[in-house]
Amino acid sequence: MIIDYLGSSAKADIDADLCVIGAGAAGIAIARHFIGTSVNVCLVEGGGATGEEQSQALYEGTSIGPLPLDAGTSRMRVFGGSCNLWGGGCIPLGKHDLAERQWVPHSGWPIAYDELKPYYDRAREYCQIEAHDFTDGSFLTEVAHTPIPFDADKLINPVFARSPILFGNAYRSELEKAPNIAVLLHANLLELHASASGATVRYARIGAIDGRKGVVRARHYVLACGGIENARMLLLSNSVLPRGLGNEYDLVGRYFMDHPCGSMGAIITDTPERLTRPYDRNLGKGLAPAFPEIGLSPAFQHAHRILNGRVHPFAVEGSVPQGIRSLRDFRAALRPTVQDENALLEARLCAALKNAPSNDDDTRARSDNKALLALRVGLGSVDIAKAMLQKLGNKPTVRSNRVELIGYFEQAPNPDSRIALAEERDMLGLPKVYVDWRLTALDRYTYRTAAALFGAELAGACGGIYLPAAWLSEDDSATAQVHTTAHHLGTTRMSDDPQQGVVDQQCRVHGMDNLHIAGSSVFPTGGWAFPTFTIVALSLRLADHLRRQLRTVALSEAI
């Protein structure tokens, strides 16, 4: 069932076997795993069924590091989580991403790829991409257009699959109908209250924006609130242990990582389609299409002692003919404009995260007069006809000789890159978060080394000239021109050693017997892969573990 905690009929206090906090990709995957079992699950979500500015404001924070990161716009507080904004990209991490690398401090997962493999297999069903078989670091699906054949010791073409679903939409009905699942909307976690020893969570204090408060009592608890909020919630839970839960060694919130992205420069070429068409994400087939990316080979990473990364080529249009401009304006004017709060919030958050290069012509003012726009389309028919011929010949409709290379990179684990609690408080009275996002010398060395390789290989593939971005030649003291992709990783990292990580290999918080964490905050390293597919795989693995734990408790009580 789904219960709005703002409603007057909702009970203030809830009893359950399992309390999962956060109804995003991880939380929904775990709760769904218990449908039809004897385990009663309470899935707690701070947002509503759709996006709301008032709930979203609870994610606001401060950025104090050398790299700006807006905590308020890089995630979404809503049923379904930030994946309400995602592009559907799914790809597994590779074996080398999980391995310890001597040149990457704090690298190495306590679990191997083979441990994740069966859960990646099950994650395909959850993400509704069952048609795609996989190997480490790639799917095996044939793509619409053959990618560029690179020297495999330098560059590779890993394939990702695009999920056709939003998790909140896809699985809401199942959760609503399940008699053993209670989904609480607008119920915000205020604190996980621990026993006097700090070893057990006794209950979760929850509250709504209108002042309503209560508790959820359960046998086991899972934090599944995202890479920033998981750490914030542990730090906020400090009424028994002043430093917060799981924070004996001051690790909660540290090792904050993202997938920094930025321009690596441009390729000047008369045949830009040779670079862009094989990687065009508008050319996929089926409900769950697959696309290649251009990635650094593990061999090159090892040889040059750098981090993982990929690059995507974007064609930058030249001068747009008047007829094409008019047709684009006319189509834009015909699109329906939805003005509900959810659509406006999603548009605002997407705009804040949009980092791909755009054509300057798109920023000019447009007329809303459809009759006038239709007349302009008619007057531009010659331009439109020429564009159609270009399209039939598999060439861009607007000529260009410049391809911008946007790089996306793994970030080195860094204990000084962190999130912590700020002095300012939100409307619930809780301290907001501050983000201190930092790079290392290895990150910068990776950008320079990878950019030189990407530029040389892609220029060679089209007979072009590579022009590196100016910032790549600057020294390490200058600010790197990279920005967030809203992949928040590492703040409750996984390690068998409690002095090196917050959770163990079962994602249980060290020193606590009934608190686990789900999501990308447990990643020790992140590769370049979109994290959602691995988040789901780890969540299904955790759900299996919790089912065994709860079954053991039930059997012991029955004896």
Interval 241-262: pLDDT, tens:
999 999 999 999 999 999 999 9
Residue 157 resides in a domain? no
Same domain, 324 and 244: no
Same domain, 77 and 200: yes
How many domains does the structure of the chain reveal?
A: 2
Selected residue with higher pLDDT from 318 and 230? 230
Confidence band for 393, pLDDT divided at 50, 70 and 90:
low
Same domain, 169 and 250: yes
Selected residue with higher pLDDT from 444 and 325? 444
Q: Of 39, 427, 418, nearest to 231 (Cα)?
A: 418
Q: What is the secondary structure of 199-233 as a DSSP string?
A: SSEEEEEEE-TTS-EEEEE-SEEEE-S-TTHHHHH
Same domain, 80 and 224: yes
Q: Of 187, 340, 299, 295, nearest to 527 (Cα)?
A: 295
CATH number at residue 235: 3.50.50.60
- Structure confidence at residue 555 (pLDDT): 47
For 405-451, how does the pLDDT look when each residue is reduced to its tens digit (9 = 90+)? Answer: 999 999 999 999 999 999 999 999 999 999 999 999 999 999 999 99
Residue 16 resides in a domain? yes
Residue 375 resides in a domain? yes
**End-of-domain residue from the set 366, 399, 432:** 399
For 443-499, how does the pLDDT look when each residue is reduced to its tens digit (9 = 90+)? Answer: 999 999 999 999 999 999 999 999 999 999 877 777 889 999 999 999 999 999 999
**Cα–Cα distance for residue pair 528/526, rounded to 1 Å:** 6
Residue 422 resides in a domain? no
Same domain, 504 and 368: no
| Lowest-pLDDT range of 3-7, 331-335, 374-378 | 374-378
**End-of-domain residue from the set 367, 399, 431:** 399
- Tell me the mean pLDDT in the region 15-21: 98
For 31-74, how does the pLDDT look when each residue is reduced to its tens digit (9 = 90+)? Answer: 999 999 999 999 999 999 999 999 999 999 999 999 999 999 99
Same domain, 87 and 218: yes
Does pLDDT of 358 surpass 50?
A: no
Does pLDDT of 535 surpass 90?
A: yes
Residue 141 resides in a domain? no
**End-of-domain residue from the set 376, 399, 422:** 399
Same domain, 85 and 170: yes
Neighbours of 197 (CB within 10 A): 10
Q: Of 127, 472, 7, 463, nearest to 271 (Cα)?
A: 463
Confidence band for 102, pLDDT divided at 50, 70 and 90:
very high
Same domain, 364 and 231: no
Residue 334 resides in a domain? yes
**Cα–Cα distance for residue pair 332/309, rounded to 1 Å:** 35
Residue 132 resides in a domain? no
**What residues are paired with 222 via a beta bridge?**
20, 516
Mean pLDDT estimate for the chain: 89
Same domain, 338 and 242: no
Residue 392 resides in a domain? yes
Q: Which domain holds residue 512?
A: 2-59+72-91+165-254+491-558
Same domain, 82 and 192: yes
